[in-house]
Amino acid sequence: MFNTNFNERRHLIYEVVKCRISPVLWQPITSFRVVFKKHTLTLDDLSTLANQNWLNDQVINMYGELIMDAAQNKVLFLNSFFHRQLMTKGYDGVKRWTKQVDLFSKSLLLVPIHLEVHWCLVATDIARKKICLFDSQGSAPHKVAQNILKYVTAEAREKQRTSFVNGWAVSYNESVPQQSNENDCGVFVLEYSRCLALAQPLHFSQRNIPKIRKRIYKELCDCKLYEQVQQ
């Protein structure tokens, strides 16, 4: 900061004013909340959609709720804590998640998975009995799809849906849009989920992500998905 040339008085005034007002501009509005069903988003949560920030669980999970609403309950979106619970406690630790839901009456099961510093998605086409790994970096371990396969077959046994116990196919190499940075994996997961749930083609790329972030922000604030706009 001491290398700045302040010979120009207007530049000096601009720098001082900018420093004085910046804390006010970034002060959080503590009373701001977006509430939808069991989800609550604060301004801090929504700010993860700005620039190239990493999305948090709250944004991922509320957007999943909007997806289920838009898909008219034909899609089940299990929140971002599901896979972690499945890995630590096994099927018995998550079987209550579908206590009031018939998984096999849905057309699609979506499971966002957080791998420490990376988001990926496992999508299960119930009717076709196919499980696909959607990964915007191509680095997610194949075992995450196998974990969901084990869950689905265990659920079929628990609910006595014998026709869904066997015959599943698993795909790890889906041709999907890829990110070109280290920050947008969460956005890719939400856009994969949206397109799959609404039966739309995955016609987006890294260059569309800034607009997609803004659209997701607006959709979360308005608590509803909008028609897909031309990117």
Active-site option among 45, 118, 120, 195: 118
| Residues ≥6 apart with Cβ < 8 Å to 157 | 165
Determine the Cα–Cα distance for residues 58 and 218; give it in Å rounded to an integer. 15
Q: Which of 83, 114, 132, 185 is catalytic?
A: 185
Assess whether 118 carries a catalytic annotation: yes
Compute φ and ψ for 49, nearest 5 degrees: -85, -10
Catalytic residue among 45, 135, 184, 195: 135
In degrees and rounded to multiples of 5, residue 113 shows phi and psi of -125, 125
Report the phi/psi class of residue 138: left, alpha or beta, with left for phi > 0 and alpha for psi in -120 to 50.
left
Catalytic: 114? no
83 a catalytic residue: no
What are the catalytic residues? 118, 135, 185
